[in-house]
Amino acid sequence: MICRYFKVLHRDMVFLKFILEAYEGMNVMSTVDNREGIIRIAIMPGFVADMDELLAELGRQVTMEPVEWDEVACQF
């Protein structure tokens, strides 16, 4: 899996979760730091380009700041 990390406003977390869940099998979104508003989006192989397009569009609707996250591996 490819993991992307974003800082988002708390009010946008639920919105993003519902939208991303609609793309079942393509990604998994989870909160890694609730206090800071950091989410992880784990993208399944083969869907990276599609998810990049979706994330770009979502970034026009909500504030999603890409962040670096110190995690050993993207595992589930």
What's the pLDDT score for residue 10?
Answer: 93
Tell me the pLDDT tens digit for each residue of 18-55: 999 999 999 999 999 999 999 999 999 999 999 999 99
Residues 6+ apart with CB under 8 A from 31: 13, 38, 39, 40
The pTM for the full model equals 0.87
Phi, psi of 17 (to 5 degrees): -60, -45
Domain assignments of the chain as residue spans, ordered by start: 2-66
Query: In whole angstroms, what is the distance from residue 21 CA to residue 28 CA?
Result: 7
Residues 6+ apart with CB under 8 A from 20: 27, 29, 41
